[in-house]
Structure 1
Amino acid sequence: MEIQWENLPEECWELVFDRLGHNRHLEAPSLVCKRFLSISNLLRSSLTVSDPTVLLHGSTLGLLRRFHQLKRIDLVEFHGDSDRLLREVALSGLNLEVLNLSKQKRLPVQGMKELGAKVKTLRVLICSRLCFLQDSDLVAIADSFPSLEELDISNPEQDFGSFSELDYADDYAVSGSFPGSISDSGIANLSSKLQRLCRINVSGNHFISDRSLFSLSSNCAFLEEIMARDCSLISEIGIALAIHHNPQLISLSVNGSKISSAAATSSSSLTMESSFICARALGTLDFSLMIISDDLLNSIIQADLPLRRFGLSRCRGFTFAGISSLLCKYSSLNYLDIEGTAFLTDQSMSELSHHLHDVNIINLNSISNLTNSTFFLLVQTCPHLEEIRMENTSLGKEDGPSDLKKNSKLQTLKLSWNKCLTDETLKGISMVCPSVRSLDISHCWSTTGEGIGYIGMNCCEIKMLELSGCSSISNLGTSFGFSKLEVLHAAGSRFDDEGLRMMGHSSRWLLHLDLEGCLGVTAKGLKEVVTNCKGLKEVSLKKCCNVGSDVIAWMVFSRPSLRNLIPPCDIVSTEKQKDFFLRHGCWVHDC
């Protein structure tokens, strides 16, 4: 008996919609009928609330109640009354697990208190890059959400320019803190209340010291991950304390301090070298901008850690013998970051490659001696490799070897700022890396549309393409490749109307298009893209001086999927016009 599609139970439709993957793919079926809209609402687990969202829907509470399964809310793009918004979230009845308050001016303390009183399921709080963050905010966080497992309070953007160095010295000497900043006292208070804390990111808080790491490692019995980058008062003693007091620590990411190793070890018998013997679970160890000796690497070798991820980004002090011995010991590493290791050459990478059989991601950025030889060697000898980062190297020098076998695992290539990267090298890359989905060759000035054309012809899965600053590229070099392309960043390139016409016919799944500063773009080329790319959501035309004002309204009304549009700087929409565009679903930004 034939079953009509409209008679299928909702559980079946949920399974169908769930196979679509990302939330953005639910929009099209939700427009078919009210039933599909209801089903797609049930499947949405995350929501980004922005100023246009609130303006368009009026009642945020009514919007939230449409999505019964929401687990995550992001307010990164919201600049309104966040206290009021959190109160509405508290009244929605959602079992929220993740809240992102990043880039807010201040922490919405009152809203957090009301949310914490009603929502007991919050596990993750992200408060990165707040304009103002201080110790009292940490108290409010701990009191509102005592069951937090993950907390990000990294990189607050306080401006201390109005304080003199003398003020700083006096205030810090007396209180151990700085006005309007997070101090050791605040971290101690926080850590004493968040008993379930597993992961914390305190990077970029310049006025916390070793005492903060001691408080965290002493008070938080379940702490597994610490990120403390750009904390200039944290020394090697603090790092050693964190490892010594947390034998269950799984991940530690730190970078260089202004306190030398000699100064640190003179005041304590506990050193980084001796602390590793206490570690039991360290799977991720990520150093950057530090002086790392071969002796320290040897202590990591002797500790016999379950290491899977290791980083020495822009570190110095160690030798080829030291890193070679470590990689020999930990040959099952999945992730390796040795960015800026100046002594490495193609020959030395050939020797290290014998220990990289299991690596998934490797970062070789800013190593000027590495050429095509290293890239193609890794492609051939690392069968599990999924991502290569070789930015600002000598990639493009020397001819690539011929008759290479394909690597079907590689999906991400970050190759920007390689001034020697040529079309011929791109051709070789396209032949051996056919499964690449994301390619970044921004600011590679020797590359033209011909090289990009090879990528389009041979890399049929590519979805993201970064061409910003490629001053020799005016098109994608082909009218039949890039059929799955979703994101194109071409700011500062030579893209023109002909390039847009070709792309409009080949890349019909395009969602995001950045053409900032492309002077060859006019209304003619834009109409080709807007007409043919029926799912287009975001377009940036900033500094596109040859785009007329009349095309903005045409784009909004011709492409219903359009959600964000940045017009050329000389086109100023009135508030009435912006509201009119918003009622049609598109937020036209101020320049």
Structure 2
Amino acid sequence: MAAAAAANLFYLPDECWEHVYKFLTYDDDDGYRQVLKSHSVVSKEFLSITNRLRKSLTIGTQSRHHLYERLLILFQRFPNITSLTLSHYCIGDLNNLLLQISQFPLKLTSLTFSGSRCTIPINGLRAFSQKITTLTSLTFSNLDPINSTDIFFIAGSFPLLEELGLSYCIPYSRHGTSIPSIVEPLSLAFFKLRKVNLSGHDYMDDKLLFHLFKNCKLLEEANLSHCIQLTNAGIASALLESPTLKSLTFDILEECPTLKSLTFDILEECAMLSTFTRNCPSLNEIKVQSCTRLNNVKNFNSSIVNPELKSLSFANVCWLTKETMKVFVLFPNLVRLDLRWCSGISGKLMCQLLRMCCKLRHLNLSYCLELNVSEMNFEVPKLEVLNLANTSIDDKALHVISKSCCGLLQLILENCYNVTERGVKHVVENCTQLRVINLTNCLNVDADVSALRLLSTRSLKNIVAPPPNRSSNKRRRNSS
């Protein structure tokens, strides 16, 4: 009786637990999954609750044998799925799979086909669209020949579509010489379109781009990378027809006063940064996908700053120097900086960077294999998230970081093999607001010692501990 009374006293409805889990999670995708996974292993009840929180699901190649029963188990386990990805299917299996999925009362808003080289599964999509009418996002990639008939079929089947991905899809050839466009019918059929991905459509020219931007009145985001026939003049003209556009990915640069987000596949010159800083004053995000080496620092104009830019991704830059670091002076209000896989970053260079970007809150230095922060002697009180995964930092570096970045809320040290519990102690003592710490595969950190030390820190809400090492296992056996 007493046990039953106590159980009722501490009972929480499932809806309350869902709010608790959502509160404990954070923005990083990997972290979000890790938090749900760690809670789901506690009990069947918690597993059931976390299953209901899952919104996306990927279904890989399945045997046709008992396919409906397999799908039934999946959708019963995850009843609130809104995003579905179908991966690595041939056309026959895709049609069959879509026919089976259409028999379930799903409220999907997003459907993605990935890893498959095939034509559009017309029969399956027709049955799917008749049963599931809530879809607003549809993504294909690497489709075999597609034409205007396919485009109008998609538009007729999914009238609510706001996002359409057709990257690297091959249009039908006509008489073996010319390639008819699918862009013009697309721009006419999808009047609600907000996001479109046409990367790799090498027939795309200035005229077709003009039609797309003119007819899609609600367009906010467009990916046009590797559309090799586009010109600077064509993009500039088309941009005048799209006042709602906020994000544009392409391989060349032109003036656009309203553009807010820009992605470059390749960036080779520092001068280009100052150019689009001047031409696009509303930019608040820049992503550089690849950069062999930043050059032409002499032509770099540091007098034109962009106070609006808040996020900059400089991942995979092969070499950063004292001279190329000058580019960061353009962005005095930078809040988020991604430098993963960058080479040549030293403590002195980090000091130079942090003096120019003193408002940073999120800094990603993962996979910076040459990173050396022991020379860093500069306070960054506003920094909240620091990712040092897969670096060679040690306890001495952690001591410096914990004093320089005392306001940290989240610290990621995954695969940092030189860190021990001494370094963890420095972080806990100096970073008193720390809420999340990831010590996955920190093999030299004693799991038992670090757990006791971390659990004594009231601010921490999520601890990803290292695996128990041999010494802790030995002590556990001796004590027993």
* TM-score using structure 1 length: 0.61
1:23 maps to which residue? none
2:385 maps to which residue? 487
Alpha-carbon spacing, 1:381–1:453, altered in 2? closer, same or farther (3 Å): same
Return the alpha-carbon distance in structure 2 between the equivalents of residues 115 and 541 of structure 1. Answer: 28
* 1:291 to partner: Cα distance: 0.9
Amino acid at match of 2:109: E
1:422 maps to which residue? 321
Give the SS at the match of 2:423.
helix
Q: Pairwise mapping of residues 365-404 of structure 1 onto structure 2 (< 5 A)? A: 365-368=265-268, 371-393=269-291, 394-395=293-294, 397-399=296-298, 404=303
1:225 maps to which residue? 163
1:434 maps to which residue? 332
Mapped pair 1:126 → 2:83? yes
Amino acid at match of 1:217: A
Give the SS at the match of 1:288.
coil
Amino acid at match of 2:316: W
Amino acid at match of 2:72: Q
* 1:313 to partner: Cα distance: 1.0
Give the SS at the match of 1:465.
strand
Mapped pair 1:151 → 2:110? yes
- Which of 320, 337, 340 is residue 249 of structure 2 equivalent to? 337
Alpha-carbon spacing, 1:509–1:196, altered in 2? closer, same or farther (3 Å): same
Alpha-carbon spacing, 1:572–1:195, altered in 2? closer, same or farther (3 Å): farther
Q: How many residues align?
A: 437
Return the alpha-carbon distance in structure 1 between the equivalents of residues 427 and 258 of structure 2. Answer: 42
1:100 maps to which residue? 56
Deviations 1:446-490 (A, max 9, x none): 332222223333434323222233233211754553323333333
Structure 1: stretches of 5+ with no match in the other structure: 1-33, 65-69, 75-98, 159-167, 177-181, 228-253, 578-591
2:98 maps to which residue? 138
Give the SS at the match of 1:128.
strand
1:359 maps to which residue? 259
Alpha-carbon spacing, 1:141–1:532, altered in 2? closer, same or farther (3 Å): farther
Alpha-carbon spacing, 1:185–1:278, altered in 2? closer, same or farther (3 Å): closer
Alpha-carbon spacing, 1:387–1:213, altered in 2? closer, same or farther (3 Å): same
Q: Pairwise mapping of residues 413-562 of structure 1 onto structure 2 (< 5 A)? A: 413-429=312-328, 431-475=329-373, 478-516=376-414, 518=416, 520-534=418-432, 535-542=434-441, 547-548=443-444, 551-560=446-455, 561=460, 562=462
Identity value in percent: 21
Amino acid at match of 1:201: T
Alpha-carbon spacing, 1:400–1:537, altered in 2? closer, same or farther (3 Å): farther
2:6 maps to which residue? none
Please say if residues 419 and 445 of structure 1, whose CA atoms lie closer than 8 Å, have aligned partners that are also in contact.
Answer: yes
* TM-score using structure 2 length: 0.73
Please say if residues 196 and 222 of structure 1, whose CA atoms lie closer than 8 Å, have aligned partners that are also in contact.
Answer: yes
Return the alpha-carbon distance in structure 2 between the equivalents of residues 331 and 195 of structure 1. Answer: 30
Alpha-carbon spacing, 1:214–1:467, altered in 2? closer, same or farther (3 Å): same
RMSD: 4.4
- Which of 185, 196, 201 is residue 290 of structure 1 equivalent to? 201
Structure 2: stretches of 5+ with no match in the other structure: 1-9, 26-32
Alpha-carbon spacing, 1:183–1:458, altered in 2? closer, same or farther (3 Å): same
Please say if residues 491 and 517 of structure 1, whose CA atoms lie closer than 8 Å, have aligned partners that are also in contact.
Answer: yes
Return the alpha-carbon distance in structure 1 between the equivalents of residues 348 and 213 of structure 2. Answer: 51
Give the SS at the match of 1:56.
coil
Mapped pair 1:197 → 2:135? yes
Higher relative contact order (CA 8 A, sep 6+): 2
Please say if residues 274 and 299 of structure 1, whose CA atoms lie closer than 8 Å, have aligned partners that are also in contact.
Answer: no
1:52 maps to which residue? 38
* 1:515 to partner: Cα distance: 3.9
Alpha-carbon spacing, 1:139–1:272, altered in 2? closer, same or farther (3 Å): same
